[in-house]
C-alpha cells in the first residue's frame, strides 16, 4: 500500500507497466461463526509452507465475514460447507509498476493513481475489480473472463506483460481478444453512498517469513479466537461501536503482509513486525452502511 | 515418569502418600480422521491459556485414535460429534509420593512400584485404572464412583490425602464409604496377551510454558498435520510397520510434558525441550495386538 503525495510528479516522466501475475485465484467468504470449521486448513495455509503448494493466500476479517482469496492449490484445502461462499469466477491479480525511463528500477504505484488510471477506466467498461492491498504492493484482481476487455481498455496507457513461470511476456490485445468487443460505453449512473469513517487507526506491516513462528500463537489468537470471551480480561475498547473490526493477513509469493488496528498491534512483539519507515497510521473509509460485496473495505 | 533401579531400597524406609488431586476429569477419544473438526478447541486448550480455565489437559496420539483427558472446564470446549467418544465416568487423578521419614522432601514414585502397590491391589478389586505418565509424574486415574473402594483397598499401605483448594486434607475410608463394601475378592483370571515391542525409541521431555509459543508451529504440525502428505518430503521412515505412532502432549497445573519418538524429536529445536539429566530413551511395550481400551499404551 503506497500513498505518496509526490507520485503524480514522479509518474509524469515514467511509463507504466501492468503485470498480469501468474496466479489463478478464487474469492471466497466464510461466515463469522463458521470460522471454527476452517481452522485446520487455514492454519496449514498460514503457517505450514512445506505442507502446501499454495503461493497466494489472503485472509481478511471484516465486520461481516472472513474474506479468503487464494490460488487453486489453496482452494483445494477448503472443504465445501454451508459456511463457505465461493465466488464462481477465476480472478487474476494485476500489478501496476511505474517504470522510470532513465532507470531500470521499477516502483509500485499508489492506490490513488490506480483508482484514476485502472479502476475508473475499467468501471466505464463495467468491469468489476477487487482491490487487495498489502505491505508490498496493491493487487488489482479482475475476472479471467474480463481479461480481454481489461487489456483493450488499458493498453493505451500501459505496457502490459503476462508473468509466465517467472518471465514477463509482453502482451497485446489481439492475443486475447478472440473477436470480443469492448463492453458498451454507457456512462455509469452515479450512486450516492453514505461514507463512514471508523475511529480506529490501522497500520500496515510485514515480517520476515522465517520469524512467522515467533508470532504464531498471537496471530492464531487474534485471527481465530478474538470473538471468544477472554477468561482473564474485561471487554476490549475495540468493541466500541465507532470502531471497525478489520484484520488482514496475506502470504503471497513468500511475502507476508499484515493490516491491523493499533489495538491488535499491541498484542504483537514490537521487535518483529516492521512498518514503512514513516510508521504512518491509516484511517479507513467505509463506503455505504451495508456491504457492497467483496472488497468493500477500501483504504484511502 | 520415573524409573530408578534403587527405588525399592529407598522406599524400604519411607512411608508412601497417595494424593487424590483436585481435578475432575473426562476421558475421551477422537477418531483419526475426525481430528480436523477439533483443531479449534484443541489449539485453544494447548496454546491459549488466558482463554480457558482448563487446568488439566492431555492429548495423546496412539495408533488407533487421539485420546484426550481433560477437566470439565476443558471438556466444555469439545462439541458433541460423531467423531468424539466420551467415557461416561468422571475420573479422579491420584498421585503417589514417597515421603522419607527423615526428610520433608517428597519424591515421585516410579511405575514399577505403582504397578505393584496400587494397580495390582485395585485390579484384585476389579477397579480399572487409567495411567497417564508425564515428565513430572505418573497419574493414576480412577473412576469417581470407585473412590471408596480405592481408599479401602489402599489405606493400609498409604497415607491418603485429598487435595482441596491447594491444601492436603488427610482422608479415611469411613469418610467416603457410605456403607459400600469392598468388591468381592475373586481372583482375576489371567489373560495371556501377545506382547509387541515397537522399534522406535521414545523420549519424555518438558519445556518452560513461557517458551511454548516458540515451538507452536512445530507442535501444531506434528499434532494436527503429521498424517497429511508433505509436499516437499519423501515418506518418513516412521511409517515403518515395526514403528508405532505415539505422541503425547500434556499441560497439567501449568506443567508441560511431551512424549515423542526420536523421529518426531528431530523436528523440534534442541535447545528448548529438556529431558531428564540422563537423557534416557524408552521403548514401548504394547500388550495385545488389539486395543485393550483407553490407556493400553503403557510404558515399562
Write the pLDDT tens digit of every residue in A125-154. 999 999 998 999 999 999 999 999 999 999
Using a CB-CB cut-off of 8 Å, the residues of chain B touching A269 are none
Which residue has cell 506443567? B255
pTM confidence score: 0.82
* Chain B: residue whose CA lies nearest to A35: B40
All structural domains of chain B with their residue ranges: 13-187+206-271
Q: Do B217 and A213 touch (CB under 8 A)?
A: yes
Tell me: pLDDT of A120 over 80. Answer: yes
ipTM value for the complex: 0.80
Angstrom distance (rounded) from CA A52 to CA A46: 10
- What is the nearest CA distance from B197 to chain A, expressed in angstroms? 31
Class of domain B13-187+206-271: alpha beta
* Chain B: residue whose CA lies nearest to A46: B217
Largest CA distance in chain B: 64
Q: Please state whether A126 falls in left (phi above 0), alpha (psi between -120 and 50) or beta.
A: left
Angstrom distance (rounded) from CA B159 to CA B155: 6
Yes or no: say if B93 and B109 are a contact pair by the CB < 8 Å rule.
Answer: no
Write the pLDDT tens digit of every residue in B174-225. 655 444 445 544 444 555 666 677 778 889 999 999 999 999 999 999 999 9
- What is the nearest CA distance from A50 to chain B, expressed in angstroms? 6
- Could you give the 3-state DSSP secondary structure of residue B73? helix
> Which of B37, B216, B231 is nearest residue A217 as measured by Cβ atoms?
B216
The CA-atom distances, in angstroms, between A111 and each of A1, A68, A100 are 7, 21, 18
The CA-atom distances, in angstroms, between B11 and each of B53, B94, B131, B298 are 37, 19, 21, 23
- What is the nearest CA distance from B49 to chain A, expressed in angstroms? 9
DSSP A198: -
Tell me what the pLDDT averaged over chain A comes to: 82
- What is the nearest CA distance from A212 to chain B, expressed in angstroms? 9
Between B291 and A151, the higher pLDDT residue: A151
Angstrom distance (rounded) from CA B96 to CA B137: 9
Q: Please state whether A19 falls in left (phi above 0), alpha (psi between -120 and 50) or beta.
A: beta
Yes or no: say if B33 and B1 are a contact pair by the CB < 8 Å rule.
Answer: no
Angstrom distance (rounded) from CA B216 to CA B296: 28
Using a CB-CB cut-off of 8 Å, the residues of chain B touching A43 are 39, 43, 220, 224
Strands (E), chain A: 14-20, 25-31, 56-61, 65-71, 84-86, 91-100, 106-108, 129-133, 138-143, 158-164, 167-170, 195-196, 201-206, 247-252, 255-261, 274-275, 282-287, 297-299
- Could you give the 3-state DSSP secondary structure of residue A238? helix
Taking any CB pair shorter than 8 Å as contact, residues of chain B touching chain A are 35-37, 39-40, 43-44, 47-48, 50-53, 212-214, 216-218, 220-221, 224-225, 228-233
- Phi and psi dihedrals of B80, rounded to 5? -55, 145
B19: closest CA among B166, B208, B234, B186? B166
Angstrom distance (rounded) from CA A132 to CA A114: 12
Mutate to test the interface with A, among B225, B251, B268 (most CBs of A within 10 A): B225
Q: Do A44 and B232 touch (CB under 8 A)?
A: no
- Phi and psi dihedrals of A19, rounded to 5? -105, 130
pLDDT category at A61 given cuts 50, 70, 90 is: very high
Q: Do A48 and B218 touch (CB under 8 A)?
A: no
Residue pairs spanning A and B at CB distance below 8 A = 76
Using a CB-CB cut-off of 8 Å, the residues of chain A touching B225 are 44, 48, 51
- Phi and psi dihedrals of B8, rounded to 5? -60, -45
Write the pLDDT tens digit of every residue in B57-91. 999 999 999 999 999 999 999 999 999 999 999 99
Q: Per-residue pLDDT averaged across B242-255, rounded?
A: 91
Amino acid at each position: 500500500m503506497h500513498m505518496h503525495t509526490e507520485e503524480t510528479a514522479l509518474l509524469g516522466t515514467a511509463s507504466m507497466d501492468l503485470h498480469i501475475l501468474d496466479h489463478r485465484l478464487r474469492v471466497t467468504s466464510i461466515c463469522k461463526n463458521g470460522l471454527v470449521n476452517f481452522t485446520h486448513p487455514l492454519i496449514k495455509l498460514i503457517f505450514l509452507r512445506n505442507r502446501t503448494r499454495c503461493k497466494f493466500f489472503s485472509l481478511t476479517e471484516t465486520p461481516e465475514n472472513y474474506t479468503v482469496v487464494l490460488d487453486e492449490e489453496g482452494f483445494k484445502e477448503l472443504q465445501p460447507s454451508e459456511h463457505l461462499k465461493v465466488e464462481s469466477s477465476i480472478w487474476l491479480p494485476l500489478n501496476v509498476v511505474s517504470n522510470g525511463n532513465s532507470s531500470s528500477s521499477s516502483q509500485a504505484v499508489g492506490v490513488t493513481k490506480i483508482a484514476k488510471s485502472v479502476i475508473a477506466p475499467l468501471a466505464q467498461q463495467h468491469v468489476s475489480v477487487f482491490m487487495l492491498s498489502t505491505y508490498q504492493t496493491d493487487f488489482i484482481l479482475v475476472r479471467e473472463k474480463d481479461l480481454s476487455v481489461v487489456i483493450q481498455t488499458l493498453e493505451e496507457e500501459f505496457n502490459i506483460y503476462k508473468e509466465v513461470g517467472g518471465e514477463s511476456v509482453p502482451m497485446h490485445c489481439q492475443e486475447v481478444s478472440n473477436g470480443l468487443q469492448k463492453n458498451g460505453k454507457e456512462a455509469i449512473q452515479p450512486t450516492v453512498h453514505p461514507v463512514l469513517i471508523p475511529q480506529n487507526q490501522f497500520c500496515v506491516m510485514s515480517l520476515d517469513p522465517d520469524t512467522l513462528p515467533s508470532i504464531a500463537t498471537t496471530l492464531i489468537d487474534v485471527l481465530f479466537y478474538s470473538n471468544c470471551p477472554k477468561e482473564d480480561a474485561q471487554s476490549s475498547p475495540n468493541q466500541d461501536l465507532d470502531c471497525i473490526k478489520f484484520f488482514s493477513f496475506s502470504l503471497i509469493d513468500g511475502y507476508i503482509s499484515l493490516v491491523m488496528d493499533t489495538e491488535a498491534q499491541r498484542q504483537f512483539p514490537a521487535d518483529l513486525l516492521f512498518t514503512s519507515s514513516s510508521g504512518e497510521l491509516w484511517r479507513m473509509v467505509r463506503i455505504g452502511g451495508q456491504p457492497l460485496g467483496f472488497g468493500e473495505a477500501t483504504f484511502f
